[in-house]
Amino acid sequence: MTGRESGGGAWELLAPAAAAPVRGRGRALREALRDAVRSGRLPAGTRLPSTRDLAAELGVSRGLVTEAYEQLTAEGYLVSARGSGTWVGDAVRAAAPGRVRDLAPRRSAAVRVDFTPGLPDLSLFPRAAWAAAYKAALGGLAHRQLGYPDARGLPELRTAVAQLLTRRRGVVADPERLVVCSGVAQALTLVGSALRERGERSVGVEDPGSPEHGRLFAAAGLRAVGLPLDGEGLAAGPLAASGVRAVVTTPAHQFPSGIGYSAARRAQLLEWARSVDGWIVEDDYDGDFRYDREPVGALQGLDPERVVYTGSVSKSLAPGLRLGWLLVPEALAGAVAERKRTMDLGHPVLEQAVMADFMARGGYDRHLRRCRAAYRERRDALVAAVTAAFPGTEVSGIAAGLHVIARVPARYGAAAVFTARAAAAGVAVRTLADYGSAAGPEDGGVSLVLGYAHLSPGDITRGVAALAQSVGPAGAGTGR
């Protein structure tokens, strides 16, 4: 009742709304009033004119003003008391100004060739086949399938993925144990939650390894313990001594070192898991790509009750699809499925139906063949360019995956110097040291991690040439 009166002139702020086309005038008036309260132009306690006066001043019908007052009173912006008029309430608080936070990694515009590994060639995404599969999937879904899905995934897709993994990766893939998820990132978060629920508090990660592994498990409440590699995979001694009972590994093509786990190490790892009643998480991130012979089957096939297997289409189709899978041992199946349910109630149904259709029609196999041919050519171009431009360089990890390791001799400069000069020349390169605490090669050279799948053979050749030029003429480098 003690509200300030606002002079008639103040209501000019509502004039533009009052002049809006008849159809949208009511909404415009409500929005203008709401904004005026929110912005503080009409502060708390301000008394509003009677509906009759405001309607007259604005030249609109009284009903429109009454409706606006009622609406904003119901929402809490205005307060009215019978016979005493209407005020601006004191419920409103303004929002703090939004700040731009860019969470997505961006490739710098100054970089002309970026060898950072992690992306497939997105221009190979089979848009036409995908669009056809989409049409078929949308047409084939029953209405009820648009309802809440099975959180573990569409049965058709689980069956298709299980068949694919059995055939291509030699896993034991029961569709009942398969969970469709949003890529390996979600898979690790799900497994991390399930492990924590079982009392685990730490998990071993490969060092060097994917920095994401540790981060994702940390988010699930598990401490990541870096474990060193030797030439055959995760070193057995430090693993046994670490005290962890779960470890995440990349046996097909270790990231980033590129080694394939030896048969002996695979057997040792499984023995270790059994001896500690523990778990091995197998991140088969690029197991689809092996160039010179048949892919080595996944570790999971040897012991499906000790190995959690996960993979995705991020390297084979596109990360933007956010589509992956998880094969879980019986002991973890219930916890993982329930966690998937609380995390999102399941993957979007339409996208699952599309992928199931795409797989069923052979589109996925065709696409993998096409990519493998393209990537093999790029790998060959990279290996040829690097060995020609940097004599004495040993290239490894070439049998599979989307990146290689190039050990460049010491005379081309130490790692920091090498990468800084490369960057100045517009070429982004990573070294093994960027992915863990591993020391460089014994000769003092640099171990480059070179992703090639996303680059054309021409880009690869140009990138290596620019790299060679940036660090000085071959054989005449600045050494350490």
- Binders in 387-426 for a second copy, by CB under 8 A: none
Tell me which residue has tokens 């517009």: 426
Inter-residue contact 68 to 26 (CB < 8 Å) = yes
Place of tokens 């929402």: 75
Q: Which of 166, 207, 203 is nearest to 439 (CA)?
A: 207
DSSP state of 138: H
- Least Cα distance to 424 among 111, 107, 109, 106 occurs for 111
Nearer to a second copy, 75 or 443 (CB): 75
279: contact with a second copy by CB under 8 A = no
Q: Under the criterion CB under 8 A, does residue 77 sit at the interface with a second copy? A: yes
Give the binding range for a second copy (CB under 8 A) out of 123-131, 200-208, 283-291, 430-438.
123-131
**CA 327 vs CA 114, 175, 190, 331: distances in Å:** 34, 9, 12, 12
Lay out the site mask for a second copy across 188-217 (x = CB under 8 A, - = otherwise). -x-------------------------xx-
Q: Which of 15, 19, 56, 138 binds a second copy (CB under 8 A)?
A: 138
Classify strands 324-327 and 178-181 as parallel, antiparallel or unpaired: antiparallel
CB 205 within 8 Å of CB 224: yes
CA distance 415 to 432: 9
Our finding on whether 335 is near a second copy (CB under 8 A) is no
Residue 415 beta carbon to a second copy: minimum distance, rounded to whole angstroms: 26
CA–CA separation, 320 vs 302, rounded Å? Answer: 32
Pick the binder of a second copy from 29, 32, 227, 337 (CB under 8 A): 337
> Considering beta carbons, is residue 189 or 249 the nearer one to a second copy?
189
Q: Which residues pair with 47 in a beta bridge?
A: 5, 87
Cis peptide bond prior to 329, omega within 30° of 0 = no
| Contact status: 40 vs a second copy (CB under 8 A) | no
Q: Based on the shown chain and the rule CB under 8 A, indicate whether residue 158 belongs to the binding site for a second copy.
A: no
Rounded to an integer, what distance in angstroms lies between the CA atom of residue 313 and that of residue 324? Answer: 6
Q: Which residue has the tokens 């049409």?
A: 135
Please report whether residue 149 would count as binding a second copy according to CB under 8 A.
yes
Least distance to a second copy, CB of residue 122, Å: 4
Interaction residues for a second copy, span 342-371 (CB under 8 A): 342-351
Query: Which of 43, 211, 319, 363 forms a contact with a second copy (CB under 8 A)?
Result: 319
Stretch binding a second copy (CB under 8 A), from 226-234, 237-245, 299-307, 460-468: 299-307
297 lies in the site for a second copy, by CB under 8 A: yes
- Single out the residue of 13, 45, 85, 174 in contact with a second copy (rule: CB under 8 A): 174
DSSP 405-428: EEEE-GGG--HHHHHHHHHHTTEE
Least distance in angstroms from the C-beta of 207 to a second copy = 20
Tell me, by CB under 8 A, how many residues bind a second copy: 111
| Residue 358: count of CB within 10 angstroms of its CB | 26
Per DSSP, 400 falls in state B
| Residue 276 engages a second copy in binding (rule: CB under 8 A) | no
Rule CB under 8 A: say whether 306 interacts with a second copy: yes
CB of 21 to a second copy, least distance (A): 15
* Binding flag, residue 233, a second copy (CB under 8 A): no
Provide the 3-class DSSP secondary structure of residue 384: helix
Per-residue binding letters, 455-474, with a second copy (x by CB under 8 A): --------------------
